[in-house]
Structure 1
Amino acid sequence: MTITRTHPRRGHRQAVELFREQPLRLESGETLGPITIAHESWGQPDAARSNGVLLLHGFSGDSHAAGPAGPGHPTRGWWDGLIGPGRAIDTDRFFVVCPNVLGGCQGSTGPGSPAPDGRPWGSRFPSLTIRDQVAAEVAFSGRLKIRRWQAVIGGSMGGMRAMEWAIAHPGRLERLVLLATTARCSARTNDVHRRQIDAIQQDPAFLGGDYYDHPGGGPRTGLARARAIARLTYGGLDDGSGFLERFDANSYIVLTQAMAGHDVGRGRGGVAAALARISVPASVASVSSDRLFPPHSQRELARAIAGPVRFTSIDSHHGHDGFLAEQNQLAPILRQALA
């Protein structure tokens, strides 16, 4: 695959198709294919393709981690101050890749994508787990011809995926960075997840998930309510009306359910046993005001990971979104992790 040189702060946007000949077998037993993974990249791969950094976005994020606003991206990248030449994630050293998660709505295959019959998947889209999403990312990495990432970095939902990379594919990464994430969601958090899903599904415009061909734009009221429930729970940055314009309600449900069902210890003898499989150097950071995944969740990770661990607390009044907002505090954490 050829990577075209672009402006060093804009990145390069493209998409790849996977699982055309052999569909991805999901944990549910269903299959999904072909699959498109949209992604953005910054910097250049070295001759051995050994300088890659995989960046995994959170629930409301997408592949646009850095660079200016543009088509499909109404704002600058969500880590715009951290990625670029000489920055904490230095694109003079690293080839940085950020894929849009499977099940999302920013170019990767999701409920709004065409199914094999040409109509949007809608209610027919299969349920996904975090492990399913990582299986797609592993195949995506193979398409990029990157056998081993210099680091896998993830915050929130992205941190869940990063953990799965380190546990299930330990030979595929050198270092791990986990920010404001958890090994499994608590009962309290999952109750909030259920209320968000209910808010969307109870909107008359939801139409059982098959609203794409109907006027009115789908369950916008329900989606707004779901987002309001989330923001009241963990605080954070104000999305404004822009969130409703760029996010799909079915993707909101698919991704929320994947997070709710996440448990790194499932089938592995429990959380502690699963985390003990992580032997690569890890950096773990919490956000002081995080109510979604409170600091004790990250301390649990730091205590149980077998490899060398550096734990840091980020002081923030932004709640869970401190891992996005506090880029001045994040910069030294990332520089040290990538040193």
Structure 2
Amino acid sequence: MMDERFGLDRKVRLLGPVPLDSGGSFAPVEIAYETYGTLNEDADNAILVCHALTGDQYCASTHPMTGKPGWWARMVGPGKPVDTDRFCVICANVLGSCMGSSGPASEDPATAVAYGMDFPVITLADMVRAQELLIGHLGIERLHAVIGGSMGGMQTLTWASLFPQRVARAVVIASAARHSAQNIAFHEVGRQAIMADPKWRGGAYYHESDPPTAGLSVARMAAHITYLSEAGLTEKFGRRLQDRTDKSFGFDADFQVESYLRHQGLSFTGRFDANSYLYITRAMDYFDLADAHDGRLAGAFDGTKTRFCLVSFDSDWLYPTAESRRIVHALNGAGADVSFVELSSPFGHDAFLLDNPELDRVVSGFIGASA
């Protein structure tokens, strides 16, 4: 008989509660998720894939809103580096997001209207605590691996810190153990763009069916620049004009790079909620794994038995290699089993999402290695 807990487009309401770093707790919590592959009898072949800021649970299946392949379909699937013929892969929409998990767009049971800005301010640790409830619901005691890039890597580190006994391996790609002042600054530009849009209405825009798309589009454009590299932008666009032979001497999208960013911004507004963008970027800005350990990052991993693999990219200036090295040094200080590699790519931070045979070999080799 098929276990209804597993498969595509799953959603569960868990009583929880989820304890929150801001104080109090959140319950009940809804979690939307997908699973790929089959959980074995011993329930020891499960891999949790954690998504980035604007990602979702559709890592290896067609996105229902865009019709595009999953954001990591090149990595997750039968015979792929994260092989669903061997592993049961779980990917859950994070708490605070907008693809089915509890977030500001969800209905508040106390009022029967969307939470809006009454949704509690959350942290990455809160997201991981909600995921831990899901893993328990699925009957999994210990994960074979937790894998994530960018914000997904931050969740992976948090899993290994909060629930080390439940994580055998942790793969952290293009990530960091804290958000820098520069990271926070870029996020604040995006948040201010959203909140300056008159259609934001203090976050109470759901009943109007007229969301702050202009502000959200600008926020996405600003963020998207940080995901790329100067070399990549120059190679792809340079100073080439868009559909014209001369400058317009106006403020249309004269350059290809302008047109590209506008397209990225507008297409994003069709699949993401502005309030969720506010909440998740704030959660990332609050992230500093050393905070709870008197500023000592190694303290987050003291005594851990989890095995770690860290990967950075040489053109990633959002989470540069120095951030990964800082984590490696802390793990060494905690006596953890850790491996690290810096890969070469011209594509900046987004390299973890793109075709990279070296990354494939690193991930498949690490998660397939014997304990």
**In 2, distance between residues paired with 1:71 and 1:293?**
30
Given that residues 168 and 305 in structure 2 are in contact (C-alpha distance below 8 angstroms), is that contact kept between their aligned partners in structure 1?
no
Counterpart among 37, 44, 66 of residue 50 in structure 1: 44
Aligned to 1:176: 170
Question: What corresponds to 1:161 in structure 2?
Answer: 155
Measure, in 2, the Cα distance between the counterparts of 1:230 and 1:332.
29
Q: What displacement does 1:80 show?
A: 0.7
Which of 62, 76, 98 is the matching residue for 1:83? 76
- Counterpart-to-counterpart distance in 1, 2:5 and 2:179: 40
Residue-by-residue CA offset, 1:144-201 (whole Å, 9 max, x unaligned): 0101000011111111111111111110011110001100011121111111111111
Q: CA deviation at 1:74?
A: 2.7
Give how far 1:51 is off: 0.8
**Corresponding letter in the other structure for 1:287:** F
1:336 maps onto 2:336 in alignment: no
Residue 181 of structure 2 is matched in structure 1 by 187
* Aligned: 1:123 with 2:148: no
2:308 alignment partner AA: A
The unaligned stretches of length 5 or more in structure 2 are 233-259
2:10 to 11, 14, 20: 14
Pick the structure with greater CA Rg.
Answer: 2
Paired residue type of 2:57: S
Aligned length: 331
Deviations 1:25-51 (A, max 9, x none): 311113322111101111000112111
Q: Is the 8 A contact 1:316 1:326 kept in 2?
A: no
In 2 relative to 1, CA 90–143 (structure 1 residues): closer, same or farther, beyond 3 Å? same
Alpha-carbon separation, structure 1, partners of 2:136 and 2:150 = 24
Is 1:242 equivalent to 2:264 in the alignment? no
Q: For 2:65, give the aligned amino acid.
A: G
* 1:138 pairs with 2:135: no
Partner SS for 1:313: strand
> 1:1-339, aligned counterparts within 5 Å?
2-3=2-3, 12-19=8-15, 23-67=17-61, 69-116=62-109, 117-216=111-210, 218-235=211-228, 240=264, 241-270=266-295, 271-305=297-331, 306-339=335-368
- Give the whole-Å Cα distance in 2 for the aligned partners of 1:335 and 1:166: 20
Runs (4+) off by over 6 Å: 236-239
**8 Å CA contact 2:176, 2:323 repeated in 1:** yes
**Which deviations, in whole Å up to 9, do the C-alpha atoms of 1:90-146 show, x marking residues without a partner?**
111111000011101111111001001210011111100111111101111110010
Letter in structure 1 aligned against 2:114: P
CA distance in 1, matches of 2:67, 2:348: 23
State how far apart, in whole Å, the 2-side matches of 1:3 and 1:279 are.
Answer: 31
Residue 244 of structure 1: how far off its partner (Å): 1.1
Question: Identical aligned pairs, as a percentage?
Answer: 38
Q: Can you list the C-alpha shifts for 1:271-298, whole angstroms capped at 9, x where unaligned? A: 2332445442111000211121111101
Aligned mates of 2:367, 2:312 — CA distance in 1: 18
Distance 1:328 1:128 in 2: 36
> 1-side partners of 2:31 and 2:267: how far apart?
23
Amino acid in structure 2 at the alignment position of 1:336: G
Match of 2:245 in 1: none
Answer whether contact 1:284 1:310 (CA < 8 A) is retained. Answer: yes
Distance 1:66 1:108 in 2: 18
Mapped contact 1:82–1:327 kept (Cα < 8 A): no
